[in-house]
A and B are shown apart, each in its own frame.
Chain A
Amino acid sequence: MDPSEVEFLAEKEMVKIIPNFSLDKIYLIGGDLGPFNPGLPVDVPVWLALNLKQRQKCRIVPPAWMDVEKLEEIRELERKEDAFTPVPSPYYMELTKLLLNYASDNIPKADEIRTLVKDIWDTRIAKLRLSADSFISQLEAHAKLDNLTLMEINTIRAFLLDSLNCMYKLRSNLQPGS
């Protein structure tokens, strides 16, 4: 899977915007998007929010978790725990990248938020590598990891599966005559 595909899936998440135009309710295949009135917040998918923002038809409201204090708490919790902590959003990395690229003027302290999210990401990836290494070195058959996001799984998927294949090949030598 490409990172671009994961980003595409992330764009289905809902985010709050404040439009500056008015439009009746629109009926799409995926669902209805409520009537747009200038100045009143409405929930739309991210793909629509970014499109409207690029056409300067709305203002994006950052999600509740995209806040410096909350992210600092999450980062400290992540560093303390050995297991994976629950994430603020299953697509936090992608949403950070998209919203901060297109709507950074609507988000206060954008740079600090970017740094904090990157710290959280690095910590989680380090934990993921540690658990992959212990998985392989102890020759386990299966492992359970909670609270992983799709993007993290995606970066390690190819490597982990290839190395598990190699392990399988070498382990099949131990039981000959199959």
Chain B
Amino acid sequence: MEVHFIMCLSKPRLSYNGKECLCFFLLRSFFHIHRSSQYCAESPVTAAVLINIHDKDSTEPTMNTVQGKQSPIQGFSSLSSPSSSKYSLYSGPLTQLKNMDTQSYMPVEPGVGMEENFLSLDDILLSHERLPTRTECIFPRLGFLEKSSDTQDIPEATKMELPLWLSKGLYEKKRRVLSVELPKVYREGWRTVFNADPNVVDLHKMGPYYYGLGSQMLHFDSPENPEIAQTLLQTFIGRFRRTMDSSQNAYNEDTSALVERLDCLEKALFRSGQRGLNGFQSWEKGQASQLTASSLVLNYRKRKITDIQP
């Protein structure tokens, strides 16, 4: 049986070519297809790996093992080319999937505290945030990654911006490889702002995943860890009242002004509050007992019409 890997990379900003990817990535296989082809992956981006399995006896490729019931990646359009040298940059569909409200997709929730859920789209997007890091040892023959210098190796004490998934994978307690600095939102200055009044801050601008990234920063053994954790908690508590009030009282209005200063975690809370409110109001008006066409059926019908008309 041949196995072709179609690898989906992270945001289009990463301009690494194939050689660099193979240097960095260690792939974890979803299915134990062949013992010699087992790799392990640190990158959560490989949650988007689609494995196209060719049975040598049959002529058509089968995607059955990927599209099992538990797979959250049913929404991906099928990548028709099985060539293992082709990979595409796939951040667009990931965020689109996250925002879909139809019932054809069961979302996996983000992980608890310092853990991440491997299959959660929120956590995958979160792990793309860049962190300022400093290398503690030489990275031989990886000089092509550092655009500013022309050396063949990356020397010690170079400051680089690496995404979270890479920093987590390379970080070790003995600090032989990497040391991570806190982004400025989690440092002393901003922490006092949050302690003073959490409601004035635009958390969406501070990184849309303020709470998630903050929880992940606790992995890096900074001496300020307890204060960071405490600030995260107090900020959430301070902003909770406003989120609750705005979500429970905005019926049939344009909520974009209310939502734009919220972090992603708070946005999810806002949506669930809205759902409760809308459910109750529609019941009270008597719309709950009226039969309406499902949104899936409506979309299907729309798509059919556009197929017919050229």
Binding site for B on A (CB under 8 A): 2-4, 7, 97, 101, 129, 132-133, 136-137, 139, 151, 154-159, 162-163, 166-174, 176, 178
Contact = CB atoms under 8 A, between A and B. Distances in A.
A136 B211 contact: no
Given A3-B280, A159-B247, A173-B114, 5 more contacts: A156-B276, A163-B244, A166-B269, A170-B232, A173-B229
A97 B241 contact: no
Given A4-B288, A155-B277, A174-B226, A163 B113 contact: no
Range for the number of chain B residues in contact with chain A: 35 or more
Nearest to A167: B236
A157 B211 CA distance: 23
Interface string B191-234: 00000000000000000000100110010000001100110110
A167 B236 CA distance: 8
A168 B114 CA distance: 12
B150 interface: no
A163 B286 contact: no
Interface string B265-290: 10011001101110110011010110
A178 B111 CA distance: 14
12 contacts: A3-B288, A4-B288, A151-B280, A155-B276, A159-B276, A166-B265, A167-B236, A170-B211, A172-B113, A174-B229, A174-B230, A176-B225
Given A129-B244, A162-B268, A157 B112 contact: no
A69 to B, nearest CB: 25
B269 A162 contact: yes
Interface in B88-135: 112-114
Contacts of B114: 172-173, 176
Contact of A155 (B269, B280, B286, B289): B280
Q: Is the interface of A mostly helix, strand, loop or mixed?
A: helix
Q: Is the interface of B mostly helix, strand, loop or mixed?
A: helix
Nearest to A156: B276
Contacts of B211: 166, 169-170
Contact of B272 (A162, A167, A171, A172): A162
A174 B269 contact: no
| A155, A169, A178 interface centre (most CB from chain B within 10 Å) | A169
A159 B284 contact: no
Contacts of A167: 233, 236-237
A173 B225 CA distance: 9
B29 interface: no
Contacts of B112: 168-169, 172
A167 B114 CA distance: 13
Contacts of A97: 284
B171 interface: no
B240 interface: yes
Nearest to A151: B280
Given A159-B244, A159-B248, A170 B272 contact: no
B137 to A, nearest CB: 26
Given A2-B279, A170-B236, A176 B218 contact: yes
A178 B280 CA distance: 39
A166 B236 contact: yes
A4 B283 contact: yes
